[in-house]
Structure 1
Amino acid sequence: MSLVDYLTNTQGRQERVGEIALTNCQSDRPDAASLEMLNTQSLNTRAQSDKTYHLIISFRPGELPSTETLRAIEARVCHRLGFGEHQRVSVLHHDTNNVHLHLAINKIHPTRYTLHEPYKAYRAFGELCDSLEEAFHLEQDNHHVRKTGGENRASDMERQAGTESLIGWMQRECLHELRSAHTWSKLHQVLHHHGLAIQPRGQGLVITDG
C-alpha cells in the first residue's frame, strides 16, 4: 500500500516520522500490515471507489500529546466514523510546526469484507472535537463555521475536525511540485512519490491516496 510506504518513509529526516501504531492487524510491522490490508481489500471485488481512507489529525503548534492521549483520540475518532473494527496504520509526523497524526484506514471490513464510506463525516466532527479538546485539555477552537464549495468544504472540515482533507494535505505537502509538473509523466512521478495516484472516474479524473 503506497500510502503506508509514504507515511513511514523518513525521507532522510529522522524527525519526520514518530510513533507508529497498528490497529486490528495481525501483523506487527507496518509493511506486513500494509500487505494484510491489501489482502483484505482484494476480497471485496465489487467496490469501485478507493478502498483506503486517509485521515490526518492535526494539533496546534506547541501541543505534543502523550502516546496514551494520541491513541485515545485516534480510537474515538475512528469509532465515530464507523471504522472502529477496521484495520489501520497510524503514523505521527513531526516535520511541520504542528505535529499531526496520519491514519491509513482500510475501508473494507476485516471479516465482513464490506466497504464503509462515512457520510458527510465532517459534520460530526464539531461536537466530537469540542469534547476531545475538553477531555484532553487541548487548545479550544471554533469547529462550527459553515461554508460551501469543494475546497471551502475541505478547509471547513479541517477547522471543525482538527483533521486535514486530502486537498489541504496536498496543498501543504506537494503543491509546488505539482505546479512544476509540466508533463503527464512528471505528474505521475510526483503523485507516486507522495503515495497518490490519478485515476479515471466518470467523465473525469480524480486523485486518490493509498
Structure 2
Amino acid sequence: MIVKHIPMRSTHKSDFAGLIDYLTDAQSKEHRLGHVKLTNCHADSVRDAISEVLATQQSNTRAKNDKTYHLIISFRAGEQLAQNVLSEIEKRVCDSLGFNGHQRISAVHNDTDNLHIHVAINKIHPTRHIMHEPYAAYRTLAEQCDK
C-alpha cells in the first residue's frame, strides 16, 4: 500500500467541488468508479455533501491556506480488497492524520492496474471551525503503510 498527499500549490485553484466532480466522474469508462463514501456529513447525496462541506469551509474566514486535503491510497497491481476492508483502511489513515471528526468524501477507482482510493478531506472541523494541518504527515503515512 502506498499513501500520497496531493498538495494544491495555489490556494486560489483549491476547489472542493471540482475535486469531487473529478473523483466521481465515470469518464465514459465502464469500470472506473467504484464505491463512493460520505463520512461525517449529514447529507445523503454527493451534491448535498459538497454544499455542506463548502458551507463549513466558508465558516472559517481566517484560514488562508488550502482548506482541502487530497489523499490517494493505492494498492499493489491486481490486489482486490473487499469494500469493508477499503473503508477501514481509509478510516485508519484519516484518523492517524487527525481528521477523525472531519467531513470527507472518498471514491474507489478501478481504472488502472492498481486499485486506489481518492479521499477529499475538509481541513476545517465541522463544529469547531478551525483548520487542521497534519504535522509531519509523511511520517504518519509511512507508518500506516507499514502496518
Match of 2:141 in 1: 125
Match of 1:78 in 2: 94
**1:54-203 → structure 2 map (5 Å cutoff):** 54-131=70-147
Q: Report the CA distance between 1:124 and its aligned residue.
A: 1.6
Q: What is the rounded CA distance, in whole Å, between the counterparts of 2:100 and 2:27 in structure 1?
A: 30
TM-score with structure 1 length normalisation? 0.61
Q: What is the rounded CA distance, in whole Å, between the counterparts of 1:33 and 1:14 in structure 2?
A: 25
**Structure whose residues are more often strand by fraction:** 2
Q: What is the rounded CA distance, in whole Å, between the counterparts of 2:146 and 2:41 in structure 1?
A: 30
Q: Report the CA distance between 1:126 and its aligned residue.
A: 2.4
Q: What is the rounded CA distance, in whole Å, between the counterparts of 2:22 and 2:132 in structure 1?
A: 23
Pairs aligned (count): 131
Are the equivalent residues in 2 in contact too, given 1:86–1:107 (CA < 8 A)? Answer: yes
Tell me the alpha carbon deviations over residues 80-100 of structure 1, each in whole angstroms, 9 at most, x when there is no partner.
000010000000001111110
TM-score with structure 2 length normalisation? 0.87
Question: Which residues of structure 1 form unaligned runs of 5+?
Answer: 132-210
Q: What is the rounded CA distance, in whole Å, between the counterparts of 1:7 and 1:125 in structure 2?
A: 21
For the pair shown, the structure with the greater C-alpha radius of gyration is: 1
Question: Which residues of structure 2 form unaligned runs of 5+?
Answer: 1-16
**Structure whose residues are more often helix by fraction:** 1
For 2:116, the aligned partner's letter is H
Match of 1:31 in 2: 47
Q: What is the rounded CA distance, in whole Å, between the counterparts of 1:86 and 1:6 in structure 2?
A: 21
Are the equivalent residues in 2 in contact too, given 1:54–1:105 (CA < 8 A)? Answer: yes
CA RMSD in angstroms, aligned pairs only: 0.8
Q: Report the CA distance between 1:125 and its aligned residue.
A: 2.1
Q: What is the rounded CA distance, in whole Å, between the counterparts of 2:143 and 2:116 in structure 1?
A: 20
For 2:55, the aligned partner's letter is N
Match of 1:50 in 2: 66
Q: Report the CA distance between 1:127 and its aligned residue.
A: 2.4
